[in-house]
Structure 1
Amino acid sequence: MKIGELAKRTGMAASAIRFYESKGLLKVASRQANGYRDYPPDAVAVLTIIGDAQQAGFSLDEIKQLLPADISSWRHDELITALLRKVADIEALEARLARSKAHIQSLIQLINSKPEDMDCKVNAARVMAGMGITNDK
């Protein structure tokens, strides 16, 4: 199939398909007599896997290591190990994000607890002191 049809079936731009091909993620397409690329039917599946893997947070290098030369010959143990490692990475990121969120929420609460009669400069010093920041000059 021509690159336009492949782009239509996968929802990817032709330039992205050529990019994945140049990076070795997609087999180099054969060329027709007129120079047009001719992709095999399994290119749709490979590009779908690449897109899904990127959405899941895999880098192109990680995807390249996991993609088999033949789509029907996945290396089961390596794939499961990589997927479990990505889940662990996501869980670590979630924990960091939860800590960041809690820190920001406590900062918001500290800022919003400003007494009515306190001006902004004094409140800023109070907030900074509450965060353990001193303004020693």
Structure 2
Amino acid sequence: MNIGELSRKTGLATSRIRFYEKIGLLKTVRRKANGYRSYPPEAVMVLNMITTGQQAGFSLDELRLLLPADLSQWDHHHLLTTLQQKVRDLENIERKIAENKARLLAVLHEIEAKPDDMDCAANAERVMTQFGWHLLPHRETDQDDS
């Protein structure tokens, strides 16, 4: 199939397909006598795997190492260990995001709990002290009185 048909089947721009070919991710390309690219049916699957891999958090370099030149030559052990490591990486990211969200929600709650008779600056100092943060001392700028 030609690049236009491959683009329609995958939803990828032709420039993206050429890019994947250029960086060595799409290796199933053949050139016809007229110089046009010709792609076998499995190119659709390879491009879908690349897209899915990127959405799962794999970098293009990681995908280049993971995808064999010939899809019938998968290294089962390498594939499993790589996918398991990516799952662990994503779980660590999820944990960090949850921790950051909890911290932000706690700060937000304290800011919203500002007593009615307290101004914003005093409330900021109260919140920062509560969380163990310290304000930098205010520095007056020297002004020339002349």
Q: Rg: which structure is higher? A: 2
Match of 1:86 in 2: 86
Amino acid at match of 2:33: A
Match of 1:114 in 2: 114
TM-score, normalising length from structure 2? Answer: 0.89
How far is 1:113 from its partner? 0.9
Q: In the TM superposition, what whole-angstrom CA distance separates every residue of 1:57-96 from its partner, at most 9, and x where no partner exists? A: 1111111111111112211110000000000000100110
Cα distance between partner residues in 2 of 1:48 and 1:136: 52
Three-state SS of the structure 2 residue aligned to 1:46 is helix
Runs (4+) of structure 1 exceeding 4 A deviation are none
Gaps of 5+ in 2: 138-146
Amino acid at match of 2:18: R
Match of 1:10 in 2: 10
Task: State the number of aligned residues.
Answer: 137
Taking only the aligned residue pairs, the percentage that are identical comes to 53
Match of 1:71 in 2: 71
Gaps of 5+ in 1: none
Three-state SS of the structure 2 residue aligned to 1:72 is helix
Q: In the TM superposition, what whole-angstrom CA distance separates every residue of 1:15-48 from its partner, at most 9, and x where no partner exists? A: 0100000011111622223322111111111111
Q: CA RMSD in A?
A: 1.2
Cα distance between partner residues in 1 of 2:96 and 2:29: 43
